[in-house]
Chains A and B, each alone.
Chain A
Amino acid sequence: MQFLSAASAWFFTSLLVIALMYILRKTYRDTEVASHLLWRRLLQEQEANRPWQRLRSRWLLLLQLLAASLLVLALMEPVILRPSSPSERAVIIIDRSASMTAVAEIEAASQLTTKFELAVDEAKNWIDRQPDNRLITVIATGAVPVEIVSSERNRQVLRDALDELTPYFGLTDHVAALSLADSLHQGKDGGATVVFTDGQWRDAEEANGLQLYHPLQIVTVGSNLPNWNGSILHFGIRPDINEPGSYHAAVTIRNDGELEREFTIEIYSGYADRPLERAAVRSIDIAPGEWGSIELSGLPPAAYYKAQLLPAIDRIPMDNVAYGFPVVQGGSHALVVSTEGNLFLEKALLLSGVIPVKINVDSTPPSGELAEGIDWIVIDGAYERLKDDERWSKLLADKPLWLIDHPDEKDKRSAVPNNAIVQTQEHPLLSFITFSDTHIGRMNRLSPEDGDWGDTVLTYGDVPAILAGQMEGKPRLRYTFKLQDTDLPLRPEFPVLVFQSSQWMNGGMQGDLGSVSAGEMLSLSLHAEIDRAEWEGVEWSDVRKERKGQLLPVDIGSMIEAPGIPGLYRLLEWSEQGDLLASRYLSVSAHPDELQPAPELQLSSLSLGEVQKGESGIDHDSPLVPQSLLPWAIVLILMLLLTEWEVYRRGHSS
């Protein structure tokens, strides 16, 4: 028997109080007798003894103490553990975090069995052992736990659902899965949760603190093979300074094993649809637990590079591959359209690595090759005029715009700010920027026709001063004040502001999408004429390598979800006419946290105190279920009270 609320044992002190009341009781009925002569010897014992000895053999007291102790016992919520009856519902949690892709068994070089596969097999075996009528729910872990099958009796459905499962490479929330499983039992008798896992939980500490109210069984799959693993921590590509036109790669490798080993790095260069070419090979010895770096130079230009760590087969094969992309060469080109020219702005743009191309408002807009070379446009005070100009309209619609207003005194929309109070919002544009002591002479008020494409990130004297946002997927900025009307260009903040503004304008203009974790939400700027987009799997580092070249449709929204399986992908953007608008590479890797060594998992179900750990789940098919003894305690108390009443009624008060 166990107690769920052992602290209630303090209530046992109430028994002392009851006994004390009996000792101190004063109400004795006065009865005159002829003489004590005959009573004296009889009562000698009673009188000579200490008060508490008077309490002996008093039925009422004994019964009351018994009742009180039963009450306290009931408060302590006694439970007995009995094997859960197999007919009660079960919830299976399949851990499919990235660490489950670790190799559990190597039968042959090509036949690797991951822990995940083992876990699925174990789960299927477990299901087969359950009685036919048992309701089984399957939950798969993930960023949010997914209830794959709900209260199903059909074994085939369960098996099919388990076969469908794939590992999840993003950040896995085990705690949520446990809570969900526990809450599924809520309000139902019995029931047990069975977790198939490798015990490597990123959030183990949090999970250990979780209070579970229902019995839990943990089936640990895969014996922990000796930790022989090498992983690529970082793979960077940059232009070779010594050899123009070629690239330099830096690879950081960690040896997670317990022995010093020699690792070999192969760098492949890839280009669109051509097969990979091996560009360089280098070996390095790394002590256990240490990091090592390899620098390889003279790599030929390529669309992407792949680093392959050898030996390719180790405990976690997934982290033996990394992809790198060459950094886009050169700065961006900005077309600065201004009415009167702004030297400060031009200098600041140059400082930010942007090459400004100056053009007068009245001149003809660039076209053709020249227009293609322009990444974005700064319009310093002439947007109203250019907007309506037919020559400009196409260019303005194609490119991201940075508008700088020139408020006119005569214009009713312009206003002098009431005060100098600056309100800023958290925005990348305004990092390190305070605008304190900055004076702005005149500002344009916004009108409804300006559209709602962006957020006001800075307000000056209650008037919006800087707006940032996106229009048709392209970044857009607007300053509602003329730079010449302020002392801003004289401030040290100015170059920072311009730099961050140009970064904002450059947003989404990188050649490739870089490297992200699986399932991460990406904020991308898509092509203006995009109709649909899809991920093309260039190379999946899925162990099975079955789905090469598969296309995944992309839900075009403000955020785009990265593919869930590590590998190299290409984001293809298609126009309405079916033209390929853009193709950008994305490297997806498993979330690094999931592959880190995790704290030990010590789950404690509140009702159990300890978790049963079946090595492979064969021995403990039915976890122990706490059964409350409360009803029994209540029945006993009621019976006691009846007895007590009877005793009282008959007057056997002692």
Chain B
Amino acid sequence: MSREEGAGLHANSVKGISSMTAEEAFRLLFPDSGILAEVEWLRLAGGHRLRGTMAGKRRSSMLGGSQEFADYRPYAPGDDIRRLDWNVYGRTGRAYIRQYWDEQELHATMYVDGSLSMTFSGGAASTKLQVALRLASLISYAALAGEDRVEVRLFDQTGMADSLPPLHGRPSFMKLYRFMAEYYSGGVHSRRESRENGNASHSATRTTQSAVSDLSMPFREPGALPRRPGVSWLFTDAMFEKGIEETLLTLAAAGQRVVWVQLLSPEEVHPSWVGELNLIDSELATGKEVAVSERLLKQYRNEVAAYKDKLRNLCSERGAAYSFVDTSMPMQQIIRELVAQQGVLVR
């Protein structure tokens, strides 16, 4: 399994002083820009009525000034007579006010898992992180194009690593993909530096980390949760010992509709190793001596399937959407599958 060196979030200490031009960043993220056109017409499924601060294209749970009819109610003095339904008044002689749904913007938050385990490509062309970043960009683009508010947050097992403040409107997409591209290229310029820092500091960092990886850790940080209800997309490989249920709960409590996108590399789904291996956990740096056999691999595949099932069940229990992404799939297909899934993307 290949691993992109230093592509973790830790490496990105030079954020902001990006050497990349916007065009470079764009090409990096979207080598095939045609996909953007495809995505442009997609809307994030926002669930039910939402409340936002600004008017948007989203039907709010409040009644308001949109074009969408909600109900009638008897006229009361002080009502805006422009909303009086004259047709009804003409037939019945009673005055009724037409009520319309309020349309508000949607708050979408992209949570991208940047832990070390995401930096494996595992037989695919790009790492899980890269696929997650690209996918998150596309979803964000769709959201921005749909006049939704998009926030991007990167986290790893220790906490929130970086975030992009809420963006609005299509023009701010450039800001977003430059941010994304920074992590996509994995701070290539800083790779050497991180290597020179030595494995000592690297392993020291690791040992100081808790032996058990906990997904809820970053979400416990202040300000980690979106302040407003909305949609939260979670791009992760779900390689966390615990905290998955907690996170789902936390996000749901924050009024978020969660879309859980689990990314696994093909080698993680269908490993094809042979021989006697010492499997080293990239995050814990501990080894396991394994004599790989066909039987063991089969057991492992069963284990992966069971884990996916478990996640799916957890998500549906919490009212979250779950979708699985094999990183070797082309992006178009990933999008298509997301669209095909109910309650994730709407065309």
Q: Give residues in A with beta carbon < 8 Å to B.
A: 25, 27-39, 41-43, 46-47, 54, 57-58, 651-654
Contacts and interface: CB of A to CB of B under 8 A. Distances in A.
A54 B296 CA distance: 13
Contact of A43 (B213, B283, B290): B290
A442 to B, nearest CB: 100
Contacts of B291: 54, 58, 653-654
Contacts of B307: 37-38
A39 B275 CA distance: 16
Nearest to B292: A654
Contact of B239 (A32, A37, A653): A37
B279 A39 contact: yes
Contacts of A27: 276
A28 B117 contact: no
Nearest to A25: B276
Given A29-B278, A36-B288, A652 B293 contact: yes
Interface in B118-148: 118, 120, 122, 128
Contact of A33 (B240, B276, B279, B289): B279
A29 B276 contact: yes
Interface in B248-301: 265, 268, 273-284, 286-296, 299-300
B1 interface: yes
A480 to B, nearest CB: 95
A43 B288 contact: yes
B309 interface: no
Given A37-B239, A39-B300, A42-B296, A28 B278 contact: yes
A35 B1 contact: no
Interface of chain B, main secondary structure: mixed
Interface in B299-321: 299-300, 303-304, 307
Interface residues of B, number: 43
Contacts of A652: 274, 293-294
B282 A35 contact: yes
Nearest to B286: A36
B6 to A, nearest CB: 14
Contacts of A38: 268, 300, 303-304, 307
B237 to A, nearest CB: 6
22 contacts: A25-B276, A30-B277, A31-B1, A31-B273, A31-B278, A33-B268, A33-B279, A33-B280, A33-B282, A34-B128, A35-B117, A35-B237, A35-B281, A35-B283, A36-B281, A38-B307, A57-B293, A57-B295, A58-B291, A652-B294, A653-B276, A653-B292
B170 interface: no
B3 interface: yes
B35 to A, nearest CB: 27
Contacts of B116: 34
Contacts of A57: 293, 295
Contact of B280 (A31, A43, A46): A31
B276 A28 contact: yes
A28 B287 CA distance: 10
A47 to B, nearest CB: 7
Nearest to B274: A651
Contacts of B278: 28-31
B300 A42 contact: yes
B241 interface: yes
Nearest to A30: B278
Interface of B: 1, 3, 116-118, 120, 122, 128, 213, 237, 239-241, 265, 268, 273-284, 286-296, 299-300, 303-304, 307
A41 B288 CA distance: 12
Contact of A28 (B120, B277, B284, B304): B277
Given A28-B289, A33-B120, A42-B299, 20 more contacts: A28-B276, A28-B287, A28-B290, A29-B275, A29-B277, A31-B1, A31-B279, A33-B268, A33-B279, A33-B281, A34-B237, A35-B237, A36-B281, A37-B240, A47-B288, A58-B291, A652-B294, A654-B291, A654-B293, A654-B296
Nearest to A38: B303
A653 B274 contact: yes
A4 B281 CA distance: 55
A27 B289 CA distance: 10
B206 to A, nearest CB: 13
B324 to A, nearest CB: 14
B105 to A, nearest CB: 37
Contact of B276 (A42, A43, A654): A654
A19 B156 CA distance: 44
A645 to B, nearest CB: 15
Contacts of B293: 57, 652-654
A33 B274 contact: no
Nearest to B284: A36
A30 B213 CA distance: 22
A32 B281 CA distance: 6
Nearest to B303: A38
Contacts of A54: 291
A585 to B, nearest CB: 95
A260 B290 CA distance: 89
Contacts of A42: 296, 299-300, 303
A652 B239 CA distance: 28
A38 B294 CA distance: 16
Contacts of A651: 274-275
Nearest to A43: B288
B277 A32 contact: no
B288 A39 contact: yes
Contacts of B295: 57
Contact of B277 (A31, A35, A36, A46): A31
Contacts of A34: 1, 116-118, 120, 122, 128, 237, 239, 265, 268, 282-283
A27 B291 CA distance: 11
Nearest to A40: B288
Choose among A33, A46, A58 the residue with the greatest number of B CB atoms under 10 Å from its CB: A33
Contacts of B294: 652
Nearest to B296: A42
